[in-house]
Amino acid sequence: MIEMQDVSFGYRAGSELLSGMTMSLQPGMFHFLTGPSGSGKTTLLRLCYADLLPSSGKLSVFGQDVAGLSRDGIAMLRRRVGVVHQDTQFLDHLPVAENVALPLSVSGQPADIEAMRDLLGWVQLSQHARALPPSLSGGERQRAALARAVILSPDVVLADEPTGNLDWDMSMRLMQLLVELNKTGKAVLVATHDLNLIRAVKAQVSARVLRIAGGGLQLAGAEL
Amino acid sequence: MRQSEFRALKLKALWQGLIGRDGGAANRIVPPTGFTAHLTLFSAGAMAFLAVFALALALATERLADRWASELSQSVTVRVSGQQQEQEALTQSVLDILQTTPGAGQPRLLDQDEVGALLTPWFGPDMPIDALPVPDLIELPITGTDFDAEGLRLRLEGEAPGAVLDDHTEWRRPLVSAANRLQVLGIISLVLITAASAAMITLAAKAALAANGQVIQVLRLIGARDITIAIAFVRRFTHRAAIGAAVGTVLGMAAIALLPDMQAAGGFLTGLGFSGWSWLLPFLVPLVAAVVGFFATRWAALKMLESVR
């Protein structure tokens, strides 16, 4: 699904933030990506949805080398990858329901009202369907972002510090949704530096923890 | 590779997005922006208003040049000046010559009233024409292609000294030339107005695109293709340009229609306007504005999208 072979990336020539990255994300897998701030977690996720291109190495997503993708090819790839950011942006002039349905709209698919109702119910935002995004709390925004990320039924969900602004209860609620998604066969990759969160989730689902350290990627130790 | 991809934003796809039913959804993804909306509407309206006048000028000068060229080339004038006691005989002799001139119709001696009307602009209505040594004026219509002005001039010199042929060439040429130049200026004005409109719409579109950079990033993130994003902006600015230009065109046409009547006042300026089928021509202005808006916004959108992966 997502295959990295000896991938390196640097924002400036001659200065690599990530190097020798090799990993594989297959259907039904739940991965955590951890590491200190600035270690390159976000950069690694951006590589996964082709927002950045590797400086070297090979990165394949759904069997396609991202370096050879056209702009339309990248758009098609992103329809199969749901992304949730810590500070997920919305179109603030559109209600929550329309924001959640936006991937359907831009991909030319009709919105199924019943499915939309179910999805908003799943993330417990039914009563906020007509609210504008600025009126949502941090937790509500993250759940709306998750709903938007999964509305096209993507094969992979990438979450970048999705609980960064949330309290513990709200964080666990969001992680519970990601676990439920994983149990439907979706691959999930969550970048976080919250080790307690990782331990709590690992109690519910079999998850691998990858750590970025010194620009490289390694499997985390037994402490997790 | 990237450049060719941008070229792949096919005109056909944009056009379908422009007129298609699902364009409403594309329209909604761009937040309503009052400033650029009003700026585009006003600019398109003002430019259309000016374009209507430039069009009227071009058409009026074309009519004027045609009229001067055709009316004045259909006749010549013979001026007959002689001693008072010989004047009548000389004039009769010239009339005889003119009647036998090939390619010419029946010569007509202008009466005192007609001569007075010609001189009134210079001497005023109260001047007694009879008291002036005014030459007799004979108007000769040209009816055939075998009319030879130079031959007639030489014949008059030989047989009726004091008679001078005026074929109007001397003063007709600069008038026709001036009218033609005014027409060219009108056309240049139309071109400049179109270019200025394109520049203004491009600036407004770029401002809207820059202000919506975050929207574009969100759309790219969730899998929107460039064509989808471009349609949203192109559709909005094309509609604004067309609506603004339609309003400006109607106002411009109303202003032209309210100008004084050509026959009532006479003169060149009152001839500025449309006649007959040419009243339909201003309706092309909103269409041209829409086309300009379409291409200007497309160009601006492509430049903007180049910077977003």
State the nearest Cα–Cα gap between A39 and chain B, in angstroms: 23
- Of A52, A78, A93, nearest to B223 by CB-CB distance is A78
Residue A177 lies in a domain: yes
The DSSP symbol for B276 reads G
Alpha helices in B222-307 (DSSP H): 226-257, 262-265, 284-306
* Alpha carbon distance B145, A35 (integer Å): 99
Pairing of strands A156-160, A187-191: parallel
Residue A172 lies in a domain: yes
How many Å is the maximal CA-CA distance in chain B? 103
Two structure tokens written together for A31 = 């991965």
Instruction: Supply the pLDDT for residue B2.
Output: 47
Q: Where are the domains of chain B?
A: 2-69+173-306, 74-167
Residue A96 lies in a domain: no
User: What type of residue sits at position A109?
Assistant: Q
For residue B301, list chain A residues with Cβ-Cβ distance below 8 A.
none
Residues A78/A157, Cβ–Cβ less than 8 Å? no
Q: Which residues span the domain enclosing A19?
A: 2-90+154-219
CATH number of domain containing A57: 3.40.50.300
For the stretch A118-137, pLDDT in tens is: 889 888 899 999 999 999 99
Residue A148 lies in a domain: no
ipTM above 0.90, yes or no: no
Give the best residue of A105, A150, A152, A160 to mutate against chain B (max B CB count within 10 A): A105
Region B166-192: mean pLDDT is 85
CATH T-level assignment (fold) for domain B74-167: Alpha-Beta Plaits (3.30.70)
Instruction: Supply the pLDDT for residue A8.
Output: 92
Sign of CA dihedral A185, A189, A192, A198: positive
Q: Which residue of A has its CA nearest to B8?
A: A72
Instruction: Supply the pLDDT for residue B182.
Output: 87
Structural domains in chain A (count)? 1
- Of A70, A92, A106, nearest to B223 by CB-CB distance is A106
Percent of chain A with pLDDT over 70: 98
Region B100-113: mean pLDDT is 89
A91 to B220: CB separation less than 8 angstroms, yes or no: no
**Any B CB within 8 A of A148 CB:** yes
Instruction: Supply the pLDDT for residue B12.
Output: 65
Residue A32 lies in a domain: yes
For the stretch B282-292, pLDDT in tens is: 999 999 999 99
Strands (E), B106-199: 108-109, 136-141, 163-166
Instruction: Supply the pLDDT for residue B265.
Output: 47
* Alpha carbon distance A148, A82 (integer Å): 8
Region A33-62: mean pLDDT is 92
* Alpha carbon distance A91, A103 (integer Å): 12
For residue B219, list chain A residues with Cβ-Cβ distance below 8 A.
102, 106
**Any B CB within 8 A of A94 CB:** yes
Two structure tokens written together for B39 = 């700026």
Residue A9 lies in a domain: yes
Confidence at A170, pLDDT banded by 50, 70, 90: confident
Note the residue count of chain A: 224
Two structure tokens written together for B65 = 């040049």
For the stretch B68-90, pLDDT in tens is: 777 667 788 899 988 877 888 88
Q: Is B104 helix (H, G, I), strand (E, B) or coil?
A: strand
Which residues fall within 8 angstroms of residue A114, CB to CB, at 6 or more apart?
none
More confident call, B35 vs B278: B278
Residue A29 lies in a domain: yes
Q: Is B256 helix (H, G, I), strand (E, B) or coil?
A: helix
For residue A101, list chain B residues with Cβ-Cβ distance below 8 A.
none
Percent of chain B with pLDDT over 90: 28
Residues B253/B282, Cβ–Cβ less than 8 Å? yes
For residue A72, list chain B residues with Cβ-Cβ distance below 8 A.
5, 8, 225-226
Residue A54 lies in a domain: yes
